[in-house]
A and B are shown apart, each in its own frame.
Chain A
Amino acid sequence: MANVISPLPGIFYRKPGPGKEPFVEVGDTIESGQTIGIVEIMKQFTEVQSDTAGVIESFEAADGAMVNPGDTLVVVREGQA
């Protein structure tokens, strides 16, 4: 398992914007470098990418949750499904 962690404090969003589809869902296969969410801080938006290819195992932060640097956002099961 690999964790995707938040590099900064802020609000975690799973969607690129209101009314849009989430970047990824549990069970999705992702590539290394793929965006899994956004962290907003003081009106600045930073995309968070996974360093690992694999399958999304779980979300550890809810959509709209406050996160701190180092908090796990997503757990990825490495390798193929």
Chain B
Amino acid sequence: MRKLFIANRGEIAVRIARTAKEMGIATAVGVSEADLGSLAAQAADENVVLGPAPAAASYLNHDAVIGAALELGCDAVHPGYGFLSENAAFARTVDAAGLIWVGPPAEAIEMMGNKAEAREAARRAGVPVLKGTDGPLDPEADALEIARAIGYPLVVKASAGGGGRGIRFVHDESELLRTIDMARGEAAAVFGDPTVYLERFVESARHVEVQILGDGSSFIHLGDRDCSMQRRSQKVIEEAPAPDLPDSVRQRMRESSVELARQCGYRGAGTVEFLYDPVRQEAAFIEMNTRIQVEHPITEQITGVDLVREQLLIAYDGVMSLSQEDVAFRGHAIECRINAEDPDNNFFPSPGRIVRLAWPQGPGIRVDSGVGEGSVVTPFYDSMLAKLIVHADDRPAAITAALQALAETEIEGIKTTIPMHSKLLSRPEFADVAHHSKFIETAPDMLEAS
């Protein structure tokens, strides 16, 4: 008996159900009261209401999720991304309930959730790290001397921080000690842990990452992705492989990411994230995500590997189906995240009913969507509706294909970020790979009404 409980919503719940069904695994999904009519609720064989609309009362409620999985006779839980996916306590609760956790061991989630520990593990595995303190900054150490060796500007980061939180900039020596004190106090108050570390600050950096898989004894990579097109540290457009990387940098990122997975005895899908400095042509470790990611389809398109299938094989059978020699790369893929936001009104959220919906069609087009025509987009969750993915022989062809696919997409009833994607993909900076993770904020015309 194999039955998978999907502990998520939207497009990723639909995506997980699709692969599970292909593998002959029965599926059940837990939904909030607001999502009863959603595509995700229909995508699984069974659905059950976890609780009221607010995520804290439904998708994030450990007892409701585990209780529903047990009651429906499931033997495994897939958390998707977000919500409970990187919650070590929840992973342990799933284990303790006798269910299979489709994800890495709780210890791996915990270690990578602690930024200073993760950085230290990366350094040991030979992953390039940004010049900075190796591990936590010792409160007794001479911070001024350490900072001089790193160089200014630098950042003070909270070990327990993440997602852009718990970071402070230091422009010169006069600000250093005061900023460290403030960062420690803030980290203690916000994260319950005063540990901080120092790191060199890189301007105009690109965000590059390596997809890895491990089953505890074999460890492979599935190439790299570039996710530099971001708005307020939220990814907007991703592509695979990462363009314009020197071969030596690419090889080192991939091989050291695999080595990091090996040293952790990693099981499942994971992503090692790097900051790439195009001026110095250096990549440096940022963090490791211990889950499937939003942008996983572009890796699937260039490798032909179903990452959710590998996750389920590793969780159920203990082994993945691939070795590194089996992984071949073909062409170039681009993903646009389609959000219910109004780019002409400072990205204000745009809930409502989708009265008309037509996705593009044709070779190389993939749409991972959580909505259909008639769907109601509620105000309760994040604004991502769907992902439009194109695959073509090379990067210029992929950009052309993405623009065409966006032009063919029709969504009426709500505002979406589609016009922004068309603008961004038309920019010479994107074609020339001259963009970086602050590009949208520094391109005023991207933020003005058209």
Contacts and interface: CB of A to CB of B under 8 A. Distances in A.
B382 A42 contact: yes
Interface string B54-80: 100000000000000000000000000
A11 interface: yes
A33 interface: no
How many B residues are at the interface, by size bracket? 10 to 19
Interface in A23-55: 40-44
A70 interface: no
A6 B384 CA distance: 24
Contacts of A8: 348
A11 B381 CA distance: 11
Contacts of B379: 9-11, 40-42, 66
Contacts of B351: 9, 41-42
Contact of A41 (B53, B54, B349): B349
Nearest to A44: B349
B8 to A, nearest CB: 16
A64 interface: yes
B349 A42 contact: yes
Interface string B404-430: 000000000000000000000000000
B349 A64 contact: no
A13 to B, nearest CB: 10
B405 to A, nearest CB: 25
A42 B381 contact: yes
B60 to A, nearest CB: 12
Helix, strand, loop or mixed for chain B's interface? loop
Contacts of B94: none
Contacts of B54: 11, 64
Interface residues of A, number: 11
Interface string A1-25: 0000000111100000000000000
Contacts of B383: 42-43
A11 B380 CA distance: 8
B340 interface: yes
Contacts of B380: 11, 42
Helix, strand, loop or mixed for chain A's interface? strand
Contacts of B382: 42-43
Contacts of A42: 340-341, 349, 351, 379-383
A45 to B, nearest CB: 11
Most buried by A among B349, B351, B379: B379
B339 to A, nearest CB: 9
A77 to B, nearest CB: 30
Contacts of B341: 42
Contacts of A43: 381-383
Most buried by B among A9, A40, A41: A41
Contacts of B381: 42-43
A64 B57 CA distance: 12
Nearest to A64: B54
A42 B350 CA distance: 9
A56 B278 CA distance: 57
A11 B56 CA distance: 14
Interface in B343-376: 348-349, 351
Contacts of A64: 54
Contacts of B348: 8, 44
Nearest to A39: B379
A70 B380 CA distance: 19
A40 B379 CA distance: 8
A64 B381 CA distance: 14
Nearest to A46: B348
A69 B380 CA distance: 15
A11 B341 CA distance: 17
Nearest to B52: A64
Interface in B100-117: none
A43 B381 CA distance: 7
A40 B381 CA distance: 10
Interface in B310-356: 340-341, 348-349, 351
21 contacts: A8-B348, A9-B351, A9-B379, A10-B379, A11-B54, A11-B380, A40-B379, A42-B340, A42-B341, A42-B349, A42-B351, A42-B379, A42-B381, A42-B383, A43-B382, A43-B383, A44-B348, A44-B349, A64-B54, A66-B53, A66-B379
Interface of B: 53-54, 340-341, 348-349, 351, 379-383
Interface of A: 8-11, 40-44, 64, 66
Given A9-B379, A66-B53, 10 more contacts: A11-B379, A41-B349, A41-B351, A42-B340, A42-B349, A42-B379, A42-B380, A42-B381, A43-B383, A44-B349
The 3 tightest CB contacts between A and B, nearest first, are: A42-B349, A41-B379, A42-B383
